[in-house]
């Protein structure tokens, strides 16, 4: 029996999203930039979806720029700010997704050494939360951009974006918030946050892969990454993926992630009781109801993952976007864990297709795998 427990990596599409995609593909197959009836039908699908996304996250419809997903949205925002400003400081967290960290690092590395650019990465506390005070302290008069995720994708820990956003607004410093893992799981109100950019992705909430959005505060300049036909009001060129956009809007609110906390809690209670030395990262912090990042001492996370895979379980070791690499989680390393302890991590993220039986079965499997591996190594279980 296969059990999928990796919903933070991607959430299987919900029926409403699949139906909306098929309907859009069949009934709105025209190019949305065309002026004839077929083009207008496709344009209506996009306009309706834009209104739905805006309503769901508390923004104006004109703020929504459809993209291919969180990575592109983050890159558009970063490019928009850094391509036209004077050298200065960039402040972010040490636990950001690679979609933030890599473009920032690449930009700074591409500049002359004496240009004056500085990238500051603020570390979290032992619970995985980056203090707002530390973010604010890291900002100087020449800060050009601040990037801070709303929820960490590995630990599920919610970050204090509101306080940082208020300071950035007072200091007139652009703020990019990666809300990919937060969408559908915590309340998001773009207008109240009053940030400059906010990135979203559909497949984390049961929508299709390859589509997302960048929310842009009114009056904020957007510089295209790939100039072309001027779609999305000249902010992201390329013919829009109408079926995917329709599927994105249909998935909004389709899953009640908050209802999954009893499953996560049952998993953690049983794991701590049955797996000697196991730890739950972020247990004392505000975190997502469906996410559990655990440390299994003296066990290699990748090995555990592969053993679980053979038993029909799908979980994660580190973030999915960096899978296949033998590197310890940069999130856990930033929290101060040793390389060995960081490599002993597994992330379990529950979804609507899971039950408490799945959670308990996972614990049973982990205990058996531990005993098996210890036996192979000639150690007492």
- For the annotated catalytic residues, the residue numbers are 321
CA dist 99 and 135 (Å) reads 19
Q: Report which of 219, 224, 221, 220 is spatially closest to residue 235, judged by C-alpha positions.
A: 224
CA dist 169 and 157 (Å) reads 24
Dihedral angle sign, alpha carbons of residues 73, 329, 7, 253: negative
Q: How many CB atoms lie within 10 A of CB 84?
A: 9
Q: How many CB atoms lie within 10 A of CB 239?
A: 13
Give the position of tokens 């990596």. 9
CA dist 55 and 249 (Å) reads 10
* Cα separation values, 89 from 116, 131, 140, 172, Å: 8, 19, 7, 14
Q: What is the DSSP letter of 253?
A: T
Which residues does 376 contact at the CB level (< 8 Å), separation at least 6? none
Beta-bridged to residue 280, according to DSSP, are: 294
Q: What is the DSSP letter of 257?
A: G
């Amino acid at each position: 029996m296969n059990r999928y427990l990796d919903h933070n990596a991607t959430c299987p599409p919900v029926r409403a999203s699949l139906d909306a995609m098929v309907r859009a593909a069949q009934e709105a197959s025209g190019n949305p930039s065309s002026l004839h009836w077929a083009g207008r039908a496709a344009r209506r699908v996009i306009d309706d979806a834009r209104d739905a996304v805006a309503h769901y996250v508390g923004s104006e419809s004109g703020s929504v720029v459809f993209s291919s997903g969180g990575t592109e949205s983050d890159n558009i925002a970063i490019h928009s700010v850094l391509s036209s400003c004077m050298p200065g400081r960039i402040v972010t967290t040490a636990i950001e997704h690679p979609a933030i960290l890599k473009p920032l690092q690449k930009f700074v590395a591409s500049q002359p050494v004496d240009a004056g650019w500085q990238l500051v990465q603020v570390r979290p506390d032992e619970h995985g939360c980056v203090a707002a005070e530390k973010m604010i302290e890291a900002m100087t008069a020449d800060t050009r951009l601040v990037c801070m995720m709303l929820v960490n994708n590995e630990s599920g820990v919610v970050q204090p974006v509101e306080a940082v956003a208020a300071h950035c607004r007072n200091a007139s410093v652009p703020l990019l918030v990666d809300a990919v893992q937060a969408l559908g799981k915590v309340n998001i109100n773009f207008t109240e946050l009053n940030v400059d950019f906010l990135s979203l992705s559909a497949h984390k909430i049961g929508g299709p892969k390859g589509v997302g959005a960048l929310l842009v505060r009114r009056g904020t300049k957007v510089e295209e990454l790939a100039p072309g036909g001027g779609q999305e009001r000249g902010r992201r060129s390329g013919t829009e993926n109408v079926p995917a956009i329709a599927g994105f809007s249909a998935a909004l609110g389709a899953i009640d992630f908050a209802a999954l906390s009893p499953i996560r809690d049952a998993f953690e209670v049983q794991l701590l009781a049955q797996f000697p030395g196991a730890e739950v990262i972020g247990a004392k912090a505000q975190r997502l109801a469906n996410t559990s990042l655990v440390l299994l001492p003296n066990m290699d996370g990748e090995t555990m993952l592969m053993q679980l895979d053979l038993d029909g379980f799908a979980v994660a070791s580190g973030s999915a976007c960096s899978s296949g690499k033998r590197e310890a989680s940069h999130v856990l390393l930033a929290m101060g864990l040793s390389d060995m302890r960081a490599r002993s991590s597994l992330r379990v993220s529950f979804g609507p297709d899971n039950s408490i039986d799945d959670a308990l079965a996972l614990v049973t499997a982990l205990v058996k795998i531990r005993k098996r591996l210890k036996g192979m190594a000639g150690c007492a279980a």
